[in-house]
A and B are shown apart, each in its own frame.
Chain A
């Protein structure tokens, strides 16, 4: 039979009498089974080997000193990201401005702070008090209104937060600048043609569209920083990594304590990844024809479809 003949025959039958049978994928089932077996083996290895010391992990997971350390890690991350992205945005705008001195100053900042290793920068800030004993506020090169001991102003916590934020700002600046460059120049032209004020052009027209590419990159940075805060252990600050070291130096349960830290880092990054998903959706408004459903909506959708199918099946069976 020729192809057109088949089509004609199909068309001759009423459309309703044709049933769609989904294609079968045996390969997918086999691959799935292999992965499931491997996963089961891994879980088994984790649970049954006593060397992992799960009881100790359980005992310390919610230990007050660990919880405090988690909180401190969160605080450092938040400070680093918020200050970092604020300063980074300013740097990006400087870089994109039409004033050459501003643009090159921002370029210089990014160059410097991306080039020097974070751990080195942190030690610099930590020792700043030794470099400049007094910090004065007043007219540049002129009289000072008041001065403070740099020791009081920059304690170890401030030094850590400052170091992280300044370092982060260099990366944030590039991410924000990339975001602005990704926006169609026609958008700015349209805004200018409408006489929209310059600041409004940037924050109402460009930035929300730039966020589309800023958010995934920023998510990466935030998650990187959650773990990156662990470098401040060299300043003997009680963040998560330092704290578990303190504990295992005391009780000798190295693996268990490292697991405690790993679990908390997992929890933090999971929360952040979920948050990122929703932030991306928020800035995706209008940029796709329809927003994809959230995972929750997806689960609910599958459940309702299943339920509807179950309700229909007996009826169809009865007819046949």
Chain B
């Protein structure tokens, strides 16, 4: 099998006395979609944030395409990288937040071109051409000059997806991308994500949308109390869960 695009090994993370991640292992191969489900407080967001080093982990490591995100290895030691280097490596990872976090004072186009220009040093013209292409992809060609506040929640989240894709990342992480949306707006965001999945984008998605997991995921991961309890193809984890905690969770959300 190919080397994993995302390789999470033995990750531990505590907030003070509270151990939030207790030895998490996760491999995602290129082009795969992994959906993480689990009860509130089980550490799903913390895991995603550890993958792009928004959180520092206490033990274990995370590698993207064979490269540690926050560290440099020499021998058997990991040296923490300087912020500049961490920021550079982060451009390989797209992140879509539950609450969008678009930049409200910048237009939609500027939101999308900001990181390619300032983080990757792309020429403005090239970045704008890319933005035009990505906004068309998420169905918002006519909104390039609007400000985020002038858009609906679903449209804002689609802009956020275009913004994450503008870095041409190796993997895109989604943290409950539809949880802040009105029910009738969820569909348009999920459609964009399904199209992305079909186009071979490597994705890790934390979501409560079981239907999306069933349709799109290559692997479903069930997390509870800081550990991965069960993982496998959706048919297995969602329809014939082996672990009683998975069954208990699914009986509540389905």
Contacts and interface: CB of A to CB of B under 8 A. Distances in A.
A208 B1 CA distance: 48
Interface residues of A, number: 24
Nearest to A199: B118
Contacts of A184: 101
Contact of B150 (A189, A191, A196, A289): A289
Interface stretch (B91-99, B122-130, B219-227): B91-99
A193 B163 CA distance: 11
Contacts of A197: 84, 87, 118-119
A205 B115 CA distance: 11
Contacts, number: 77
A198 interface: yes
Interface stretch (A28-36, A120-128, A280-288): A280-288
Interface in B30-88: 52, 54, 83-84, 87-88
B87 A198 contact: yes
Given A194-B167, A195-B119, A197-B119, A205 B147 contact: no
A306 interface: no
B103 A190 contact: yes
B147 A285 contact: yes
Size range of the interface on B? Answer: 20 to 34
B14 interface: no
A196 B115 contact: yes
B90 A192 contact: yes
A196 B104 contact: no
A190 B101 CA distance: 6
Interface string A182-219: 00101101111111111010001100110000000000
Contacts of B150: 289
A194 B83 contact: no
A188 to B, nearest CB: 9
Nearest to A185: B101
B167 A286 contact: no
A205 B52 CA distance: 20
Contacts of A209: 104-105
Given A192-B54, A194-B114, A186 B149 contact: no
B115 A286 contact: no
A126 to B, nearest CB: 43
A285 B110 CA distance: 13
Given A286-B104, A286-B147, A287-B105, A194 B119 contact: yes
Contacts of A193: 52, 54, 90, 93, 95, 97
B195 interface: no
B149 A187 contact: no
A289 B87 contact: no
Contact of A195 (B88, B101, B102, B107): B88
B90 A194 contact: yes
B106 interface: yes
A190 B104 CA distance: 12
A30 to B, nearest CB: 41
B148 interface: yes
A210 to B, nearest CB: 10
Contacts of A289: 149-150
A288 B91 CA distance: 30
A189 B55 CA distance: 11
CB-CB nearest 4 A-B residue pairs: A286-B147, A190-B101, A195-B91, A194-B115
Interface of A: 184, 186-187, 189-198, 200, 204-205, 208-209, 283, 285-289
Given A193-B54, A286-B106, 18 more contacts: A189-B101, A190-B102, A192-B54, A193-B52, A193-B90, A195-B88, A195-B115, A195-B119, A195-B167, A196-B114, A196-B115, A197-B84, A200-B118, A286-B104, A286-B105, A286-B107, A286-B148, A289-B149
